[in-house]
Amino acid sequence: MDTTQTNNNLKCIDGFGLKLIAIITMLIDHTGAVLFPQYLFLRIIGRLAFPIFCFLIVEGFQHTKNIKVYLSRLFLFALISEIPFDLAFNSSIDFFHDTNVFFTLGFGLLVIYSVDSIKKITDNKYGKLFIYIPIIAISYYLAYYLQTDYSIGGVTLILIIYLFKNRSLPRFVIATVSLYLFFGFIEALGAISFLPIQLYNNKRGPKIKYLFYLFYPCHLLLLWYISKHLLS
């Protein structure tokens, strides 16, 4: 039997399928955080979402035709989502502390773009290091300073997935250790998400580009409304 063909047959989840898994588990997580904080199992289920979104950022980077448009879209929705995020999770609106996950994803994308650019530098263009290394440092600093969701640990996870894109076992081990060291045991359970990632078939699936971008702020506003006006 051709083991390569067998392995390919097992890869049955496209990019849209991964995105749906991430969105559903994120919704379960945020429902638990905002409406039912006493039910820990909801938060545990939700640990699967972020690593999948990190993987999709790496996939998006490798297939995007315009990195500037991709980055601009992430940071635009980071700004759009901040008020819904603060309403759902914080007692006050603050654009400079405890910010939403779009900022983390955007800074992570900046880091892997810079690392990828450094890897492509030829012998006579080392001056570009003085461009890309500061971008990496500033991205990490801003993730820390703005206290983005998952902060520098989230940016590092995106970098790990990028560096070990085609090496599934090292990626799983290092990502699991990273999640544990940055966030603890509960967050490390998110490594289970690498099972559906391993089943990814490198196909995009249905082209609904703005599904997650729009769903994120909208579901946060809905959860805030339910918590303040229906359950209070």
Residue-wise pLDDT for 41-99, tens only, equals: 999 999 999 999 999 999 999 999 999 999 999 999 999 999 999 999 987 788 888 99
**Which token pair is 196?**
């559906």
Q: Which domain holds residue 206?
A: 3-230
What average pLDDT is seen over the chain?
A: 91
Cβ-based neighbours of 62, under 8 Å, separated by 6 or more: 165
Contact by Cβ (8 Å): 49, 186: no
Contact (Cβ atoms closer than 8 angstroms) between residue 200 and residue 22: no
Query: How many whole angstroms separate alpha carbon 224 and alpha carbon 217?
Result: 11
SS3 assignment, position 200: strand
Q: Which residues neighbour 45 within 8 Å (Cβ) at sequence distance 6 or greater?
A: 25, 28, 29, 32
Chain centroid to Cα 4, Å, comes to: 30
Predicted structure pTM score: 0.92
Number of folded domains in the chain? Answer: 1
pLDDT digits (tens, 9 = 90+) for 165-205: 889 899 999 999 999 999 999 999 999 999 999 999 999 88
3-state secondary structure (DSSP) of residue 13: strand
